[in-house]
């Protein structure tokens, strides 16, 4: 019955096995004897389910998946053998019996709270635990064809939402009203409902509608455009600001299917934009066209950034590129997968060679203080000799 209620595919056994073996290779190169996986997204990646449990991956031997709740659902969703437990305390004895608690252990210390970390050290009476978050990120960096298919289905949702936006947007509408229509459309098309973002205090909506002044307000988030929101308790997202003729409206929409996230932005306008916005948009388009034409496997991510910056400087728009003042961000692209802030990050300083199967969002945007913003965001899959667009949605300005 459960399978008939799910619209997405369960993760195949061979996919789970491959991921675990890849992590073991990284563990071996860093002399990690066993890993304890606790975070939801990493659990899902390595088990295929997000039920309450703990995954222990020893360098030698089979993985041990301890599940507290729900056993029935986990048994359907994961290809791994399940070990039922009532609490974390049940795990220690099994690990001792199997002689796993030796050498150096690993945990996801970028996301595991200190109290949880200390509790596990006490529970296991084991002190030598190091951070394996970098190893996990490296395993997750290159997507398999199964993952890419999920990402493309997520991108299909984005395409349908942008089509709907052309019907919805009208002069005088509030940003939040437009968001409500598009959130509904996304759910109808199979959107999973929310996005995941790694890190302390990292939160993200799946749709950002910003228009004019609201697109220029900076926030604590490491994003070029965050919006005002409807309350300072959230401080991001669409606001009660109303659409005016001639002022660009940006829709930054995050698709979500089977856990996998896509992230694209398009510019809409009622009437015509002024020359300042038009010029900036054309440069954003030139940047995307240049990346699509010249980006490929083997290129350093810094080169993609620097190619974009050269076009920006030639147009003398560097003061407005990727934010303004304290709102400027230092990247033009970010990795996508089960979380919206994965590797690779496309910056002038973060050297990373693009490999086949990497997936990232590329977002040249311009923010003009007090006036508004324009820009584009497209998602790419790194392929031999090229960057493949995830969606085929046009990157033109949509005139209403």
Here the CATH number for the domain that contains residue 293 is 3.90.230.10
Domain boundary among 123, 139, 155: 139
Residues 35 and 54 in one domain: yes
Share of the chain above pLDDT 90, in %: 91
pLDDT digits (tens, 9 = 90+) for 152-193: 999 999 999 999 999 999 999 999 999 999 999 999 999 999
Residue 85, pLDDT above cutoff 90: yes
Residues 188 and 114 in one domain: no
Q: How confident is the model at residue 52 (pLDDT cuts 50, 70, 90)?
A: very high
| 65-88 mean pLDDT | 93
Residue 380, pLDDT above cutoff 60: yes
Residues 132 and 150 in one domain: no
pLDDT digits (tens, 9 = 90+) for 234-253: 999 999 999 999 999 999 99
Q: Could you give the number of structural domains in the chain?
A: 2
Residues 84 and 197 in one domain: no
Residues 87 and 221 in one domain: no
pLDDT given at position 37: 98
| Local structure of 47: helix, strand or coil | helix
| 50-78 mean pLDDT | 95
Residues 220 and 347 in one domain: yes
Residues 117 and 153 in one domain: no
Which domain range does residue 315 map to?
142-399
pLDDT digits (tens, 9 = 90+) for 97-116: 999 999 999 999 999 999 99
pLDDT digits (tens, 9 = 90+) for 308-366: 999 999 999 999 999 988 889 999 999 999 999 999 999 999 899 999 999 999 999 99
Residues 133 and 8 in one domain: yes
Residues 213 and 359 in one domain: yes
Residues 349 and 268 in one domain: yes
Tell me: cis bond preceding 93? Omega within 30 of 0 counts: no
Domain boundary among 86, 114, 139: 139
pLDDT given at position 1: 56
Q: What length does the chain have?
A: 400
| 294-310 mean pLDDT | 97
Among the residues of the chain, which ranges form H helices? 2-5, 13-29, 40-47, 71-77, 89-97, 114-124, 133-141, 145-168, 175-188, 275-294, 301-314
**What Rg value do the Cα atoms of the chain yield, rounded?**
22
Q: How confident is the model at residue 219 (pLDDT cuts 50, 70, 90)?
A: confident
| 111-124 mean pLDDT | 95
Residue 136, pLDDT above cutoff 80: yes
Residue 312, C-beta contacts closer than 8 angstroms, at least 6 positions apart:
283, 287, 318, 321, 364
Among the residues of 189-329, which ranges form H helices? 275-294, 301-314
pLDDT given at position 122: 94
Share of the chain above pLDDT 70, in %: 98
Closest CA to 251 of 63, 371, 46, 397: 397
Q: Are 342 and 141 in contact (CB under 8 A)?
A: yes
Domain boundary among 122, 139, 156: 139
Here the CATH number for the domain that contains residue 98 is 3.40.350.10
pLDDT given at position 7: 64
Residues 38 and 162 in one domain: no
CA distances from 163 to 159, 167, 171, 268 (A): 6, 7, 17, 11
Q: DSSP character for 318?
A: G
Residues 175 and 60 in one domain: no
89-124: b (≥16 Cβ within 10 Å) or e: eebeeebeeeebbeebbbbbbebbeeeebeebeeeb
């Amino acid at each position: 019955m459960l399978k008939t209620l799910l619209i997405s595919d369960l993760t195949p056994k061979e996919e789970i096995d491959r991921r675990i073996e890849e992590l073991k290779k990284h563990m071996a190169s860093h002399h990690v004897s066993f890993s304890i996986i606790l975070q939801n997204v990493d659990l899902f990646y390595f088990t295929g389910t997000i039920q309450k449990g703990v995954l222990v991956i020893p360098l030698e031997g089979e993985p041990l998946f301890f599940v507290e709740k729900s056993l029935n659902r986990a048994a359907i969703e994961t290809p791994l053998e399940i070990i039922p437990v009532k609490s974390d305390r049940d795990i220690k004895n099994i690990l001792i019996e199997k002689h796993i608690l030796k050498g150096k252990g690993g945990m996801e210390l970028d996301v595991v709270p200190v109290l949880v970390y200390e509790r596990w050290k006490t529970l296991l009476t084991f002190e030598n635990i190091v951070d394996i978050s970098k190893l996990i990120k490296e395993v997750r960096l290159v997507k398999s064809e199964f993952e890419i298919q999920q990402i493309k289905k997520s991108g299909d949702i984005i395409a349908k939402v942008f089509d709907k936006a052309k019907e919805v947007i009208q002069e005088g509408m509030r940003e939040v009203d437009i968001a409500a229509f598009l959130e509904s459309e996304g759910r109808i098309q199979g959107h999973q409902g929310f996005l995941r973002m790694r890190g302390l205090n990292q939160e993200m909506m799946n749709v950002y509608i910003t228009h004019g002044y609201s697109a220029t307000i900076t926030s604590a988030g490491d994003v070029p455009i965050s919006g005002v929101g409807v309350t300072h308790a959230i401080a991001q997202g669409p606001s009660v600001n109303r659409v005016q003729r001639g002022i660009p409206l940006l829709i930054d929409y995050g698709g979500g299917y089977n856990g996998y996230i896509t992230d694209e932005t398009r510019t809409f306008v009622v009437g015509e934009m002024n020359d300042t916005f038009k010029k900036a948009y054309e440069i954003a388009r030139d940047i995307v066209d240049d990346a699509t034409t010249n980006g490929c496997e083997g290129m350093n991510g810094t080169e993609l950034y620097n190619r974009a910056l050269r076009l920006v400087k030639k147009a003398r728009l560097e003061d407005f590129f990727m934010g303004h003042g304290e709102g400027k961000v230092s990247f033009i692209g970010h990795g996508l997968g089960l979380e919206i802030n994965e590797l690779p990050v496309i910056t002038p300083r973060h050297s990373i060679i693009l490999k086949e199967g990497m997936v990232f969002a590329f977002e040249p945007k311009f923010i003009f203080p007090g006036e508004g913003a324009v820009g584009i965001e497209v998602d790419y899959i790194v392929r031999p000799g090229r960057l493949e667009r995830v969606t085929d949605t046009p990157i033109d300005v949509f005139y209403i």
